[in-house]
Amino acid sequence: MFHLHRGKYRARLAETSEDVALAQALRYRAFFGPDTGSDADDYDQRCSHVLIEDVASDALVCCFRMLDMPNGADIDTSYSAQYYELSGLRDFGGPMVEMGRFCVDPNLSDPDILRVAWGAMTQYVDARGVELLFGCSSFKGVEAATYADAFALLKARHLAPKRWLPKIKAPTVFKFAQRLRRKPNAKNAMRVMPPLLKTYLMMGGWVSDHAVVDRQMNTLHVFTGIEIGAIPPARKRLLRAVIG
């Protein structure tokens, strides 16, 4: 049974349709605003949903979903494949998981929530022998200039290996690897880097060479991958320390 309890928070898999509905409601608040609604799509039925809850109140504070694939042969059925041409990953031979719809209650900023979430992801990945974790990492808004240093840093240090590099599929993209010629200010870059993406990068994650302009979600997002075997040993120890 998947379960993790650390400090004020616990992580578990959704077990009922009501659990999934709570995750969809939290996603709506996080992505679209305070109004009551439900962020739902057809992928929800195919995914495992991880819920991070406040132990004292049982309130849902964070959630994300995981889509399991035995290897890269099914990569075109992923959520990310709607926006990126991922033929380079079709030959990936090991188990893969797409992590998506990650969000935290917009009224909370406790860093322990992210810590427990990453512990839960680690437990999930370990239990299934996953070799590649991937998904889309989002910047708020669609003005690329706001994140010029962040994109310059991604170009300089974190582009995907050529064999896995996603190609352009979405109708509107920002080709930061081609367009940016500036030397990144690392301090400014990390200040505006999304927290989830920042954690991916610290674990050796890599990104696409372009960002998709998603006006429906009001985001710019980059395809992001982490090869589990390439995570630095010190980072693995920190992640597994959360599991206990």
* Cα within 13 Å of Cα(71), Cβ side: 6
**Residue 244 pLDDT > 80:** no
Quickly state the pLDDT bin for 243 (edges 50, 70, 90): low
Q: In CATH, what class is 3-243?
A: alpha beta
Amino acid present at 128: R
What are the domain boundaries of the chain?
Answer: 3-243
pTM summary value: 0.94
SS (H, E, C) 5-21: EECCEEEEECCCHHHHH
Q: Are β-strands 219-227 and 84-85 bridged in parallel, bridged antiparallel, or unpaired?
A: unpaired
> Using one digit for the tens of pLDDT, what is the confidence trace for 143-198?
999 999 999 999 999 999 999 999 999 999 999 999 999 899 999 999 999 999 99
DSSP 8-state class, residue 57: T
d(CA 86, CA 78): 10
Show Cβ contacts of residue 45 under 8 Å, excluding neighbours closer than 6 positions: none
d(CA 166, CA 240): 30
* Average pLDDT value over all residues in the chain: 94
> Using one digit for the tens of pLDDT, what is the confidence trace for 123-142?
999 999 999 999 999 999 99
Quote the distance between the C-alpha of residue 178 and its chain's center.
24
Quote the pLDDT of residue 238: 76
Hey, what are 238's tokens? 């920190």
Q: Are β-strands 96-104 and 132-140 bridged in parallel, bridged antiparallel, or unpaired?
A: parallel
Quote the pLDDT of residue 1: 52
Evaluate the CA torsion angle 243, 11, 120, 68 in order and state its sign. positive
